[in-house]
Amino acid sequence: MKQTIYLGPDIKGIVQKNQIFTFWPEDVIKQACEVNMLAKHLFVSMEDVVQSRNELRRQDSFLYLAYQKVKKGK
């Protein structure tokens, strides 16, 4: 069973930061994308969570920029 984690900011009524799913949360991703299309990039496999968290810390990275845009868009 592949686990997925959402690394983005809270999106009220849809998903919380660091929420873990034991399935691929297709419906949740769809709802999050209605707020901001970049949100889909913030759902990552638990296998990739360390690399993704490191990328989130780099201000010039795509994930960092996606996080900031989702945060402003909520």
Are the CB atoms for 42 and 6 separated by under 8 Å?
Answer: yes
Q: What is the pLDDT of residue 73?
A: 80
Alpha-helical segments (H) within the chain: 26-35, 49-57, 62-73
User: How is residue 65 annotated by DSSP?
Assistant: H
* 53 SS3 class: helix
Instruction: Dig out the tokens for 37 from the structure.
Output: 């299309």
Q: What is the pLDDT of residue 13?
A: 96
Q: What is the pLDDT of residue 26?
A: 96
For the cut 80, the answer to whether the pLDDT of residue 1 exceeds it is: no
pTM over 0.85: yes
Q: What is the pLDDT of residue 52?
A: 98
pLDDT digits (tens, 9 = 90+) for 27-74: 999 999 999 999 999 999 999 999 999 999 999 999 999 999 999 985
Distance separating alpha carbons of residues 74 and 61, to the nearest angstrom: 21
